[in-house]
Amino acid sequence: MSNNVPHYMIIGGGITGLSAAFYLKKQMTENEASGGGPFRISVVEKSPSFGGKIHTIGHDGFVIEKGPDSFLARKRPIIDLAYDLGMENELTGTNPKAKKTYIVRGRKLHRMPPGLVLGIPTQMTPFMKTGLLSPLGKLRAAMDLILPKRDIAEDESLGHFLERRLGKEVLERIVEPLLAGIYAGDTYKLSLKSTFPQFRAMEQKNRSLILGMMASRKNVTEESAHLPAAVRNSVFVTFRRGLQSLVEGLVDALSTVDLRAGIGVVSVRRVAAGQTEVIFEDGHREVVDGVIVTTPTYQAAKLLSELPAASKLAKIDYISVANVIMAFDRKDIPFELDASGFLVPKHEGYTITACTLTSAKWLHAAPEGKVLLRCYIGRAGEQEWPAWSDEQLISKARQDIGDLLGITAEPSFVEVTRLMHSMPQYPVGHLEAIADFNKELTAAMPRVLVTGAGFHGVGLPDCIRQGKEAAKLLGDLVLR
Ligand code: FAD
């Protein structure tokens, strides 16, 4: 407490930390307006700028996302935040003329059958016609319609669950590459309960995953009712000036908050009931009245190393990924730009795991006559790439798009991004491990909360939700 004003500190200035600060400030300001006392909030970010994984750059009229590029429109927290910041008119949807997606199989691009939702078929005719699967593979997937549900309370891996319901072929050739885009993970190691709890709920409710998914599609209109009209028909949405504009919107809204970038925290320790000492890289210490840690879990484990349960956080693995973003002249692209991109399953003999035709998917991403492409490299089991130079990454990405798309022209510019230890892998039993961690944390340091992408959802909307929930918990705790 400084000058008797309660001081709350948020560690980590990514989307989770900034959202936590925004909603904590909102609650504290409302409390102050209704007769409560003044307060102070600080956000401490180790790197020189805010936003964490979010990083948009502008280049000659291109809007280039080096981290996340969009989010699922049906997830409310990010849309609510856009409204809270007065930025709802900046939302934009995908190009309706580039809805197709492809998957590589046998060194060729196959159209993803229409009606797949998270890789689960909701229309059987196109699914049965696809060249991606063998007749036996299709038959095995259709068995989901008659297989009994499994009544088990424990967690299981996403891979085992999907193989059990739809068979190995659908898992390996369609679902895994699709979901790998979100987690870059090994589905046989990822927790079903933590990654796709809705799959499990569908099995319990509808017995069949396919029938459950078909039933859930009927609610789509309801789910998009909260969206501004301009983006109501888009599954994915982003901000037309890039996701960085959301970060800028948050930073502007936090103008009365003490925002500190370029200084890391090294330790968070209890000093007295309700009082926590935060120790900084430069050695200085501050005693504060509440803390929300939003760093990746391997960092949080270090900050809280005095707490035995922190070892549970240290066990969460993170995968490293790289992006090679390339710009071309339209004349150098030998095909129609009517697709958003393609996915590459494991064992197809390519380095890239996916390629987004960014400027076809997002019309704001490139100036007229130019094309922007984004290739992804790295996933669980394919982690040798950090030893490669940028030139090697570029050369492998160019070789793959040359082979698959026939693009042989020299790109007009290339951006390589290395996102080291950036994709958390929730292991089987993750929810239980996090619950145990939180129990011990609350008992030892009731006014310290730890949250973010390593906990309950990696997508931007989930991170915002988690930041907001942590802010509410801390706010309620200190104001009661
Ligand atoms: P971070 O963004 O990691 O922020 C944590 C912050 O803590 C960082 O800024 C870090 O510098 C700081 N920090 C670390 N240690 C310390 C310390 N000791 N002291 C102070 N500060 C510290 N999600 C989507 O919804 N859509 C997408 O399209 C999408 N694409 C993605 C593509 C890639 C390549 C990656 C890696 C992720 C993607 N995601 C996507 C996921 C999403 O971007 C992240 O889960 C989310 O941004 C994480 O936010 P966060 O605030 O929890 O963590």
- Among the atoms of ligand 1, which is closest to the Cα of residue 72? 25
Reading the chain (480 residues) residue by residue, the pLDDT tens digits are 556 899 999 999 999 999 999 999 999 999 999 999 999 999 999 999 999 999 999 989 999 999 999 999 888 999 999 999 999 999 999 999 998 999 999 999 999 998 888 889 999 999 999 999 999 999 999 999 999 999 888 999 999 999 999 999 999 999 988 887 788 999 999 999 999 999 999 999 999 999 999 988 766 666 677 788 878 888 899 999 999 999 999 999 999 999 999 999 999 999 988 899 999 999 999 999 999 999 999 999 999 999 999 999 999 999 999 999 999 999 999 999 999 999 999 989 999 999 999 999 999 999 999 999 999 999 999 999 999 999 999 999 999 999 999 999 999 999 999 999 999 999 999 999 999 999 999 999 999 999 999 999 999 999 999 999 999 999 999 998
Among residues 289, 317, 291, which one has the least CA distance to residue 304?
Answer: 291
Question: Quick one: tokens of 254?
Answer: 């936090």
Helix, strand, coil percentages (3-state) for the chain, rounded to 5, are 40, 25, 35
CA of 84 to the centre of ligand 1 (A): 21
With a 6 Å cutoff on the Cβ, whether 52 touches ligand 1 is yes
The answer to whether 454 and 300 are in contact (CB under 8 A) is yes
Entry pTM: 0.96
With a 6 Å cutoff on the Cβ, whether 305 touches ligand 1 is no
With a 6 Å cutoff on the Cβ, whether 246 touches ligand 1 is no
With a 6 Å cutoff on the Cβ, whether 181 touches ligand 1 is no
CA of 63 to the centre of ligand 1 (A): 19
CA dihedral 40, 303, 473, 25 (to 10 degrees): 30
The secondary structure element, H or E, covering residue 238 is strand 236-239
With a 6 Å cutoff on the Cβ, whether 296 touches ligand 1 is yes
The answer to whether 105 and 346 are in contact (CB under 8 A) is no
With a 6 Å cutoff on the Cβ, whether 422 touches ligand 1 is yes
* Interatomic CA distance for residues 355 and 377, integer angstroms: 9
CA of 8 to the centre of ligand 1 (A): 21
Name the amino acid, one letter, at 458: V
The answer to whether 228 and 222 are in contact (CB under 8 A) is no
* Interatomic CA distance for residues 88 and 228, integer angstroms: 7
